[in-house]
Structure 1
Amino acid sequence: MTKTIRIGTRDSELALWQAHTVQHQLQQLGYSTEIVAVKSTGDIILDKPLYELGITGIFTKTLDVAMISGQVDIAVHSMKDVPTALPKGIVQAAVLERANTVDILVHKGNLDFLTGNGTIATGSLRRQAQWLNKYPNHTVVDLRGNVNTRMQKLQESNWDGAVFAAAGLERINLKPEMFIDLDWMIPAPAQGAMMVVAMENDEFSLDALAQLNHIETEICTYIERQFLRTLEGGCTAPIGALAKYNEIEDTLHFQGVLFSLDGSQKFEINKTVDISEWKKLGYNAAQEILTNGGSVLMADIKLKLKK
């Protein structure tokens, strides 16, 4: 059987770049493709912080519905936006090779505020908590919208800077000259990676996408998302995770963090294990944090976010 694979995507510039990347790779393998763009709730409602919307997978839900209803065959996502539990009938079909995992601070040329009082913008609780942990005297304000919208809001504001994922800005050539790498900030689980999902009974699309899968990225993001899922974070708790493969030693290094919303509390774990232990690495790291006080903090975070 041959068919045209309909690729579902959000309609932002970055999402379309990701969809076109998958389209190009599939076409190089000889597949016929078509891109179908839809607008997600997360792109429409910009006047509320994400955690206040109370929806897990707000950027993926619209595409989930489009897949289940047969409007599209596959969907391309920034992997960090995808809930750790996929809807029934939808499966992870490919993880593309990871790009830059680093968060960056885009600023306006003057960094004096870093040693005094400053105002930083981000829509991420993870970034907010880590920033306040390092700069407790600063103010963090909410910033929503796609990357283009957020960059424009920063330029029109009196904020000192805003935090972005380097990968997103690099992919659409929007990374400005005035930025610094935040190499101390632990990224979101699966940051810099792209996931493609398909229906579990769609063997044609699954076979096609299996050829795009990057095994090292798949393993590392699995560990990070397992850590997130075990902490029961969803996208609303300040959780960071990064797994890296050391090819020379055949080992995995994992770093995971859980913060309080205001950044005053921090639980961190660093582990290096043999590659053979990858399947339980994220789970074991999360259990260690939960046992050592993380479970109390997670309960407190959930209570505060409900208010």
Structure 2
Amino acid sequence: MAKPTTNKTIRIGTRDSELALWQAHTVQKQLQDLGYKTEIIAVKSDGDIILDKPLYELGITGIFTKTLDVAMITGKVDIAVHSMKDVPTALPQGIVQAAVLERANTLDILVHKGNLDFLENSGTIATGSLRRQAMWLNKYPNHTVVDLRGNVNTRMQKLQDNDWNGAVFAAAGLERINLKPDSFINLDWMIPAPAQGAMVVVAMAEDFYTIEALSQLNHVETEICTYIERQFLRTLEGGCTAPIGALANYNEKEDVLEFSGVLLSIDGKQKLEITKKAEVSEWKKLGYHCAQEILNNGGSKLMSEIKTQLKK
């Protein structure tokens, strides 16, 4: 690999939560191992500051990425590192996806307090995600779901401080900062958020030096699978927040792509699902075609109901 030919320092923008900083340091180390100079610049996002409202009530997608987008556009930082599932499917003008790192665990997990009897009866589960809420209520209609906001450390503390039976987290986030407790169960029946477990690095479209540097961090299989999932999301939702799950995998043994997607009503009572196997050559349109199938089988009506509910 050719060594960098300039003294430019790549300024890495990140949120200041423990997980976000872990992600930024991971990218920093990989760039430094390739010989690039870097600096980390942490900023606080509105999503971290406004904790008393559910995310969908804040009325904008990308609340965790917006502050960093502004920092990039105004020249304060060169790149931003995100949990890919937090990134809107349409990036702001002038900003491009420069690298998707190899994916970690895609599963959601239930962190509980040692007693799982409530799964057979009534219980209270916490999550700030409409998708997790809808999927939980679909499986456990007798349960109550309460809103849970904040970074992973804050959410873990809130779980301890309240009388809830458990809370749902992305396994990858807890594993990355060694916060995953012994008292958890894998929710392998819950289809994850599109791009869950993946990290994305974005850069300015005109910054060819930085884009070339980041291209060396890109993991093609993860890039393709997350592209399919995000295309499914984008085709279904058209910019609104909705309970949507998607997971694409490359099955090496059969040399095919496997896809699972789901759209639910907010109360979890309606559930539209699709699973598909496709040739690897079909990856560019796989998410779109799966979303169209959902839309044609009742998804269009359900999406308009969701949009109406979220406007109230």
Q: Is this a same-fold pair by TM over 0.5? A: yes
CA distance in structure 2 between the aligned counterparts of 1:204 and 1:56, rounded to whole angstroms: 29
CA RMSD of aligned residues (A): 0.7
Give the counterpart of 1:29 among 20, 23, 34: 34
Structure 1 residue matching 2:39: 3-state secondary structure = strand
CA distance in structure 1 between the aligned counterparts of 2:240 and 2:288, rounded to whole angstroms: 17
1:167 alignment partner in structure 2:
172
Determine whether 1:240 maps to 2:240.
Answer: no
1:107 alignment partner in structure 2:
112
The amino acid across from 1:192 in the alignment is G
CA distance in structure 1 between the aligned counterparts of 2:241 and 2:276, rounded to whole angstroms: 24
How many positions carry a matched residue from both structures?
307
Deviation at 1:249, TM superposition (A): 1.7
2:138 alignment partner in structure 1:
133
1:154 alignment partner in structure 2:
159
2:282 alignment partner in structure 1:
277
Deviation at 1:150, TM superposition (A): 0.1
Give the counterpart of 2:59 among 54, 57, 71: 54
Deviation at 1:155, TM superposition (A): 0.2
Deviation per CA, 1:276-305, whole angstroms, max 9, x where unpaired?
Answer: 100000000000000010000000000000
Deviation at 1:248, TM superposition (A): 2.1
Structure 2 residue matching 1:2: 3-state secondary structure = coil
Contact 2:240 2:307 in 1 (8 A): no
Q: From the superposition, tell whether residues 192 and 254 of structure 1 become closer, same or farther in structure 2 (CA, over 3 Å).
A: same
2:183 alignment partner in structure 1:
178
Deviation at 1:2, TM superposition (A): 3.1
Give the counterpart of 1:216 among 218, 221, 238: 221
Deviation per CA, 1:253-286, whole angstroms, max 9, x where unpaired?
Answer: 0000000000000000000011010000000000
CA distance in structure 1 between the aligned counterparts of 2:114 and 2:183, rounded to whole angstroms: 6
Contact 1:233 1:239 in 2 (8 A): no
Q: Structure 2-normalised TM-score?
A: 0.98
Q: Percent identity?
A: 82
1:261 alignment partner in structure 2:
266
2:3 alignment partner in structure 1:
none
2:304 alignment partner in structure 1:
299
Deviation at 1:203, TM superposition (A): 0.5
The amino acid across from 1:35 in the alignment is I
The amino acid across from 1:32 in the alignment is K
Determine whether 1:198 maps to 2:210.
Answer: no
Give the counterpart of 2:50 among 38, 45, 57: 45
Any unmatched runs of 5+ in structure 1?
A: none
The amino acid across from 1:256 in the alignment is G
Any unmatched runs of 5+ in structure 2?
A: 1-5
CA distance in structure 2 between the aligned counterparts of 1:275 and 1:294, rounded to whole angstroms: 26
Contact 1:83 1:235 in 2 (8 A): no
The amino acid across from 1:288 in the alignment is E
CA distance in structure 1 between the aligned counterparts of 2:239 and 2:37, rounded to whole angstroms: 35
Structure 2 residue matching 1:25: 3-state secondary structure = helix
Q: From the superposition, tell whether residues 253 and 128 of structure 1 become closer, same or farther in structure 2 (CA, over 3 Å).
A: same
Contact 1:228 1:234 in 2 (8 A): no
Deviation per CA, 1:30-57, whole angstroms, max 9, x where unpaired?
Answer: 0000000000000000000000000110
Structure 1 residue matching 2:64: 3-state secondary structure = coil
The amino acid across from 2:152 in the alignment is V
The amino acid across from 1:216 in the alignment is E
Determine whether 1:207 maps to 2:212.
Answer: yes
Q: Structure 1-normalised TM-score?
A: 0.99
Deviation per CA, 1:4-60, whole angstroms, max 9, x where unpaired?
Answer: 000000000000000000000000000000000000000000000000000110000
